[in-house]
Structure 1
Amino acid sequence: MTILSETYTLAGGVEIPKLGLGTWFIDDDKAADAVRTAIETGYRNIDTAQAYGNERGVGEGIRASGVAREDLFVSTKLAAEIKDYDAATAAIGNSLAKLDIGYIDLMLIHAPQPWDDFRGGDYDKGNRHAWHALEDAHTAGKIRAIGVSNFLQSDLENILTHGTVAPQVNQVLLHAGNTPDELLAFCQDRNILVQAYSPIAHGTLLDSRHIKTIAEKYQVSVPQLCIRYTLQLGTQPLPKTANPEHMRSNADVDFEISEADMATLRTLDERDYGEHAAFPVYSGK
């Protein structure tokens, strides 16, 4: 599982492990055990968010892991509804207090619009205010790197034009069957690392006949193929699981997908999220 020891280097020089653990839908009272188990397995990159309601548990797991703080990379996200400098500053302080791990390695604006108006109104000014709060926390050493999540090109341009620090990360929905090529190219051209959340499409790709066929060719599982796909795109996957066996399996991706199969996976359209389409990130609205 060599992937657990490999890193990308963000703009600004901060190193981030290439494989991370997502914690969406892991309850706060279960998060500590999940995070501690992941770290014991070899994970060094843990992702949470204010909206997940589990920052306290994630911090507890990190403190209980026995691994030195400087050897871990911990991300969280500013709630999507916060589009005001003072509220953002207070929320950053709350995350630092709940995590209780000294500092945050990466903090993102969770979405360019509040969830109840996702892909809706104009929040450019509010995003600039929230970004300024992140910049100030970054300058103060409270956060080592800053970025965004679910931002489209126009949202990124707003920050690039008006900010003093460029986003170092854009965390987006990216998986085999949903590859936003233009956004990916835009970010890569500007040295913005793309993080891929839900690299298995919240589990819906487990039933994909096309992806199963390719996975069988490499004698790997569908999740392993999907995680490897995002890595070969140069992105940083964040598969979510609290299952120790899945943690180990998800990290066992030391194989190479051929160029032809990468092209096939890149052109697939697998965006039927079923019941999960109720969530804004899967509905696209």
Structure 2
Amino acid sequence: MPASKFVKLNTGAEMPTLGLGTWRSKPGEVEHAVEFALKNGYRNIDTATAYGNEAEVGQGIKKSGVPRENIFLTTKLNNPDMGRSKEALEYSLKQLDTPYLDLWLMHWPAPMTSNGGPDKSIDWLDTWHEMEKLYKAHPDKLKAIGVSNFSVEYLNRLLANCDVVPAVNQIELHPSCPQQQVVDLCISKGIAVTGYSPLGSDGAPLLKNPVVVKIAEKYGVKPGTILISMHANRPNVNVLPKSVTNERILANATIIDIEPADIAELNEIVKTAPFRACHPNWTGWGNLGFTECV
């Protein structure tokens, strides 16, 4: 299919296919990155309480001069804040200096204590029910709710016990970690998929992959354009490249149509070069039902 500019959520809202990710962006850099991206056509900004940069993101939005209603803004409920969702929502709204969120995600299905260990006293499903209540009670503050880093196992449990089907599942997504079973389940249930780390995360290792380089040469573009565009060429999938440099932010905004045969070849990369940049084991809850990369 041709590259899309928007993904239609199950709420009826349109979420821009291309967004700016802010994970691991250093303090002092995020504000400029957000301001520059918005001034140069981006309309989708992603952050999280856990990133510690919501205030800078909010400042960048203000400085850009782009009206708030023209921006799709996402942040995430932090793992230690499960059990206090209402307070966490108000905190994010204050930090971002915004009256509402376009999308609020459960960052991981992994309740944690304030010192970083697993909190076995909280069931993440109860937290989802709290998010549902806030969504229903405050449509002026929450336009949509969703999840992040949910495997098939966790999605199935959620779907069997929810009143509100998540609008989005944000997951690591690139040729070395396609998570096709997760993507297929989401699409079948009307859940949009947002892919983070499209270049393979730190060091952008996939930029040097010979298959990616070959396909980029065919289209006369940079490898990063291929890795970002492949998601825009899939139904109900959008993508969050991350950068804090002006040149890279502009380069990442180039989206092209890619022939199905080339998409298929990119999808074969996992057979020879599988890896996951953000492994769920860090949470202390194990792998959260994920199979390795596939």
Q: Note whether the superposition's TM-score is higher than 0.5.
A: yes
The worse-fitting range, judged by mean Cα deviation, of 237-246 and 261-270 is 261-270
Partner of 1:144: 143
Matching residue within 92, 95, 109 for 1:95 = 92
Compared CA separation, residues 168 and 112, structure 1 to 2 (3 A): same
Letter in 2 for 1:74: L
Partner of 1:226: 227
Partner of 2:207: 206
For residues 112 and 246 of structure 2, what CA distance do their matches in structure 1 show? Answer: 31
After TM superposition, give the deviation of residue 271 of structure 1 in Å.
3.1
Compared CA separation, residues 197 and 39, structure 1 to 2 (3 A): same
After TM superposition, give the deviation of residue 206 of structure 1 in Å.
1.7
For residues 152 and 216 of structure 1, what CA distance do their matches in structure 2 show? Answer: 34
After TM superposition, the structure 1 = structure 2 runs for residues 148-163 of structure 1, keeping only pairs within 5 Å, are 148-163=147-162
CA contact (8 A) 1:19 1:45 kept: yes
Two-structure CA RMSD over aligned residues (Å): 2.5
Partner of 1:133: 130
CA contact (8 A) 1:171 1:197 kept: yes
User: Would you identify which runs of 4 or more consecutive aligned residues in structure 1 move more than 6 Å?
Assistant: 120-125
Q: More helix per residue: 1 or 2?
A: 1
Letter in 1 for 2:274: R
After TM superposition, the structure 1 = structure 2 runs for residues 46-125 of structure 1, keeping only pairs within 5 Å, are 46-84=45-83, 87-114=84-111
After TM superposition, give the deviation of residue 228 of structure 1 in Å.
0.8
Matching residue within 249, 269, 274 for 1:271 = 274
For residues 282 and 170 of structure 1, what CA distance do their matches in structure 2 show? Answer: 19
Compared CA separation, residues 228 and 123, structure 1 to 2 (3 A): farther
For residues 177 and 211 of structure 1, what CA distance do their matches in structure 2 show? Answer: 11
Total equivalences in the alignment? 273
Normalised to the residue count of structure 1, the TM-score between the two structures is: 0.88
For residues 177 and 31 of structure 1, what CA distance do their matches in structure 2 show? Answer: 27
For residues 50 and 28 of structure 1, what CA distance do their matches in structure 2 show? Answer: 14
Partner of 2:292: none
Letter in 2 for 1:99: L
After TM superposition, give the deviation of residue 123 of structure 1 in Å.
7.1
Question: For structure 2, which runs of at least 5 residues remain unmatched after alignment?
Answer: 288-294
Partner of 1:251: 253
**Cα deviation digits, residues 167-193 of structure 1 (max 9, x gap):** 010000111222112211110011100
CA contact (8 A) 2:17 2:238 kept: yes
Partner of 2:218: 217
Letter in 2 for 1:136: K
Kindly indicate whether residue 18 of structure 2 is the aligned counterpart of residue 19 of structure 1: yes
Normalised to the residue count of structure 2, the TM-score between the two structures is: 0.86
Compared CA separation, residues 282 and 126, structure 1 to 2 (3 A): closer
Partner of 1:191: 190
CA contact (8 A) 2:111 2:118 kept: no
After TM superposition, give the deviation of residue 8 of structure 1 in Å.
1.5
CA contact (8 A) 1:83 1:123 kept: no
Partner of 1:180: 179
Q: Secondary structure at the match of 1:143?
A: coil
For residues 124 and 41 of structure 1, what CA distance do their matches in structure 2 show? Answer: 46
After TM superposition, give the deviation of residue 101 of structure 1 in Å.
1.2
CA contact (8 A) 1:197 1:238 kept: yes
Q: Secondary structure at the match of 1:64?
A: helix
Question: For structure 1, which runs of at least 5 residues remain unmatched after alignment?
Answer: none
CA contact (8 A) 1:82 1:130 kept: no
After TM superposition, give the deviation of residue 281 of structure 1 in Å.
4.8
Name which structure has the greater RCO, CA cutoff 8 Å, separation 6+.
2
Partner of 1:9: 8
For residues 198 and 121 of structure 2, what CA distance do their matches in structure 1 show? Answer: 28
For residues 48 and 25 of structure 1, what CA distance do their matches in structure 2 show? Answer: 10
